[in-house]
């Protein structure tokens, strides 16, 4: 593609269309000039290729392999596994004609209650950066782009559409480290900017974030796209470095662009710069679909391999691995209905699912009643209603019914093994009562096979926790304020996770990097030679296994290597440490006054509409869409399709409640044009005639290039 030549022939109307998406998951084509539409699709731990043109929720998607989520794969501490996963997902993208995967998500885990923690890697920026970069390398090696998200300081869900992350420059740079690492080491095709503000300025129009830091300081030369509905002021966004508005189809944004070019408030060079980046992106990644690329059986097997390599043995007194002669009592709802993925935009329609029950049935293993057993296996964890994109968890506890079941099984006097599923840290009050705890995370569609192989010792657990598990939520530094208001104040600075607990001597349930094995290892001390650090690791047990050597300097993780060793084998690991001194950034911030909740504005949380009589009517009218979707989903026959439909409906309800009128309009396109959002606000505030006037307004723009005859 002759990018410069095409750009010189484009009209301003075509340029305004090119910097906007259309039909939710595609960029606008320009048929006159042969510019094709580029297809993006949700990731990050599998492909969610939606059927049709609009947003069809999570249940109306093409089948794809549901791999373990980032909260799980991070515990592998194995970049090679992440690269293999990225390659496989990209091959499925090529199969379906998807050109860019929306992922990975590399935001740091500031607080264990973040509802989207299952989709993020770690509390440590180096670990998140290295593993994120490995996934990016895998995806892009197959000719598919990525969109690393959500840039930046997007660490909570309750107020993500309008929240203000208030942090010092030093703290903000700490949270940006995974993005910086990936940009400099893996050169991602695109980055996705977050919904939230940073110190009062929305990420989508934050020039310091998108141009001065990302492009000028780090050297990023790809496309910056918005999260879906994250645009507020489209012209300010273009000036700041936001190239692509998604999902687009917002008449108002095209009008703003065209008007600003006409009156000179938007320099043509700013619009051209974004168009040039988008054209280069299209030229590099738009390829026809290729059905030869996907090997579904191989990917299903890979999902199990990754799950097994990521599982963490939290406790074991020798009860695991199980013996063939052990009589087993099988308890807990997650034995049959294993939770294998999160809820929200990353929810995948799996090609198949192998639950733990499926894996046990394939081995001919049937449970006995508890009194006759040698070992009780309890399958427990966080269910779909406890953690999801769109809202933060209310507490760190497991469901009460799961805790009660574990206690009841412990009272039998039998050996008890707990197999835990879930995408984030939980309180473990039963730690001292049970004999073993195996944490599977959210292990993907073939997690049942991996669970069985680990329990019976066919594979050896080698995962290490990528986040600290506190004893109780009250020990978390941000526990008093997290997720409770529009202002998210990062008062603890960079002291999150292990940095905080170790500095202040606070005991934890399981430390960052914790993980046991069925064998044992001995490690020497690190020896330094320039920027290289070396140590030897020996498998001193009687089983093959893998160990992670971690290098901490001044209390921070500076490098790591995973090594697999046979019994009695010794290996050498070397870690290279980047020796560039870190700049000193200011460590102060200002907290502005909270905005009033009335009158309601375009930026108010949608639940704020309920403060007035007319607002309540409007709120219930909009959210009735999700309630209807829930009713329809619940009528479906039992099975994975029904479960995914119900989860999709619940997710929709949460998203609608937490949106603002502005972000809802920017995401809904022609279904809720901007003047309707303005009308909602006016009616809520009791301005009936002004509201009606807004609804009657017409936003006039030229036809899209694809609609021109």
Active centre residues (catalytic): 227
Instruction: Give the start-end residues of each E strand in 256-407.
Output: 312-316, 328-331, 375-381
What sign results for the dihedral spanned by CA atoms 378, 383, 389, 394?
negative
Rg of the chain over Cα atoms, rounded to whole angstroms, equals: 26
Least Cα distance to 41 among 347, 296, 278 occurs for 347
Q: Where are the beta strands (DSSP E) in 258-331?
A: 312-316, 328-331
The answer to whether the beta carbons of residues 108 and 122 sit under 8 Å apart is yes
Give the residue among 279, 290, 289 at the shortest CA–CA distance from 36. 279
Sign of CA dihedral 594, 596, 597, 601: negative
Residue 618 CA from chain centroid, whole number = 31
Cα separation of 689 and 168, whole Å? 44
Question: Using an 8 Å Cβ cutoff, are 218 and 184 in contact?
Answer: yes
Q: How far is CA 384 from CA 159, 315, 339, 404, 698, in A?
A: 20, 25, 8, 19, 42
Is 564 buried (19+), middle (13-18) or exposed (0-12) by CB count in 10 A?
Answer: middle
**Cα–Cα distance measured from residue 164 to residue 354, given in angstroms and rounded to the nearest whole number:** 42
Contacts of 602 (CB under 8 A, 6+ apart): 660, 661, 662, 677, 678, 681
The distance from CA 300 to its chain's CA centroid, rounded to whole angstroms, is: 21
Both tokens assigned to 620: 């219930």
For residue 437, the cross-strand partners are: 315, 418
d(CA 520, CA 518): 7
| Residues 321, 362 contacting (CB under 8 angstroms) | no
Q: What is the DSSP letter of 657?
A: H
């Amino acid at each position: 593609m002759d990018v410069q030549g095409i750009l010189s022939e484009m009209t301003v109307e075509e340029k305004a269309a090119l910097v906007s998406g259309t039909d939710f998951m595609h960029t606008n084509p320009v048929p006159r000039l042969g510019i094709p539409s580029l297809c993006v699709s949700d990731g990050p731990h599998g492909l969610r290729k939606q059927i049709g043109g609009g947003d069809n929720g999570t249940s109306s998607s093409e089948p794809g392999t549901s791999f373990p989520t980032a909260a799980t794969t991070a515990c592998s501490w194995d970049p090679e596994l992440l690269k293999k996963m990225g390659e496989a997902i990209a091959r499925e993208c090529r199969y379906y004609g998807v050109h860019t995967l929306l992922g990975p998500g590399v935001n740091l885990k500031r607080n264990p209650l973040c509802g989207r923690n299952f989709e993020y890697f770690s509390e440590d920026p180096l670990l998140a950066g290295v593993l994120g970069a490995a996934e990016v390398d895998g995806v892009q090696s197959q000719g598919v782009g990525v969109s690393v998200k959500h840039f930046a300081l997007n660490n909570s869900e309750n107020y993500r559409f309008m929240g203000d992350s208030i942090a010092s420059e030093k703290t903000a740079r700490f949270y940006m480290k995974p993005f910086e690492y990936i940009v400099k080491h893996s050169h991602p095709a695109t980055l996705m900017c977050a919904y939230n503000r940073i110190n009062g300025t929305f990420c989508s129009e934050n020039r310091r974030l998108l141009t001065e830091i990302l492009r000028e300081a780090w050297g990023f030369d790809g496309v910056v796209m918005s999260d879906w509905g994250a645009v507020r002021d489209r012209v300010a966004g273009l000036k700041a470095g936001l190239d692509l508005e998604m999902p687009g189809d917002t008449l108002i944004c095209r009008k703003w662009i065209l008007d600003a070019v006409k009156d000179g408030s938007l320099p043509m060079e700013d619009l051209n710069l974004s168009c040039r980046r988008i054209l280069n992106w299209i030229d590099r990644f738009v390829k026809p679909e290729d059905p030869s690329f996907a090997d579904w059986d191989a990917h299903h097997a890979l999902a199990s391999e990754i799950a097994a390599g990521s599982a963490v043995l939290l406790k074991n007194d020798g009860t695991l691995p199980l013996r063939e002669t052990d009589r087993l009592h099988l308890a807990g709802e997650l034995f049959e209905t294993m939770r294998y993925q999160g809820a929200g935009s990353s929810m995948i329609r799996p090609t198949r699912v192998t639950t733990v029950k499926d894996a046990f049935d394939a081995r001919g293993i049937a449970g006995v009643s508890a009194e006759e057993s040698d070992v009780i296996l309890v399958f427990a964890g966080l269910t779909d209603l406890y953690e999801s994109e769109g809202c933060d968890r209310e507490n760190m506890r497991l469901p009460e019914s799961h805790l009660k079941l574990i206690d009841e099984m412990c009272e039998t006097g039998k050996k008890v093994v707990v197999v835990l599923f879930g995408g984030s840290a939980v309180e473990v009050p039963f730690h001292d009562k049970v004999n073993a705890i195996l944490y599977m995370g959210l292990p993907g569609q073939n997690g049942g096979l991996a669970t069985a192989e680990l329990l019976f010792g066919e594979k050896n657990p080698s995962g290490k926790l990528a986040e600290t598990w506190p004893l109780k939520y009250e020990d978390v530094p941000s526990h008093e304020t997290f997720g409770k208001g529009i202002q998210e104040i990062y008062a603890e600075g960079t002291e999150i996770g292990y940095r905080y607990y170790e500095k202040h001597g606070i005991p934890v349930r399981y430390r960052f990097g914790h993980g046991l094995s069925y064998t044992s290892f001995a490690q020497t001390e690190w020896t330094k030679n320039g920027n290289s650090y070396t140590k030897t690791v020996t498998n001193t047990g009687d089983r093959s296994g893998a160990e992670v050597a971690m290098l901490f300097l001044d209390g921070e993780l500076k490098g790591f290597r995973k090594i697999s060793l046979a019994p009695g084998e010794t290996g050498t690991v070397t870690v290279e440490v980047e020796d560039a001194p870190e700049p000193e950034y200011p460590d102060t911030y200002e907290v502005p006054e909270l905005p009033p909740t009335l009158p309601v504005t375009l930026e108010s949380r949608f639940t704020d509409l309920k403060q007035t009589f007319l607002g309540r009517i409007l709120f219930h009218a909009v959210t009735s869409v999700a309630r209807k979707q829930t009713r329809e989903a619940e009528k479906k026959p039992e099975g994975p399709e029904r479960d995914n439909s119900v989860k999709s409906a619940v997710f929709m309800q949460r998203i609608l409640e937490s949106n603002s009128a502005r972000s809802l309009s920017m995401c809904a396109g022609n279904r809720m044009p901007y003047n309707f959002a303005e009308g909602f606000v006016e009616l809520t505030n009791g301005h009936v005639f002004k509201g009606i006037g807004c609804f009657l307004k017409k936003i006039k723009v030229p036809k899209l290039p694809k609609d021109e005859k």
